[in-house]
Amino acid sequence: QVQLVESGGDLVEPGGTLTLSCRASGFTLGEYAVGWLRQAPGKGREGVACINGRSGSTFYGDSVEGRFTILKDNVNSMVYLLMTSLKPEDTGTYFCATRPDVHCTGAVGRNAAREARRWGQGTQVTVSS
């Protein structure tokens, strides 16, 4: 059974850093790409980062490019999102989710949720002073 469990969400001040973790089980990270999506209050889900299951290539949304880094540890089945220079607009619930295959096609931006397959329960990130 495919399962994803996120952790690491917290309250952080603007300009701060935070690392989110996603523990995967029931599959190997080489089988599927994994993306991070977020949902701000009152808004839809937005894909912010994705890592290719086979090559490890990474992709980012424009709003987080240069500030966020997605990494994975295939041995321990973990995917991480390193977030720096956090802004209040980064506030939201962050989810990790598998893609249909190893590719990150359509995994960032407003329509990323359409092709996401298995989801975690989410972890809350609040950026506020």
- Give the pLDDT of residue 67: 98
Which pLDDT belongs to residue 107?
95
DSSP string, 116-127: --SB---EEEEE
Query: What is the bridge-based pairing of β-strands 123-127 and 11-12?
Result: parallel
Q: What confidence score (pLDDT) does residue 58 get?
A: 98
* Residue 98 neighbours by CB distance under 10 Å: 24
**pLDDT value at position 90?**
98
pLDDT at 48: 98
**Hey, is 83 helix, strand or coil?**
strand
Phi first, then psi, for residue 2 (nearest 5°) are -75, 130
Q: Tell me which H or E stretch contains 12.
A: strand 11-12
pLDDT for 64: 98
What distance in Å separates the CA atoms of residue 87 and residue 89, rounded to the nearest whole number? Answer: 5
The two tokens of residue 25 are 């089980």
**pLDDT value, residue 86:** 98
Quote the pLDDT of residue 115.
Answer: 93
pLDDT at residue 126, as a whole number: 98
Q: What is the largest CA-CA distance in the chain?
A: 40
62 contacts: CB under 8 Å, gap ≥ 6: none
Burial of 53-62, coded b for 16+ CB within 10 Å and e otherwise, reads: beeeeebbbe
Residues of the chain with pLDDT under 70: none
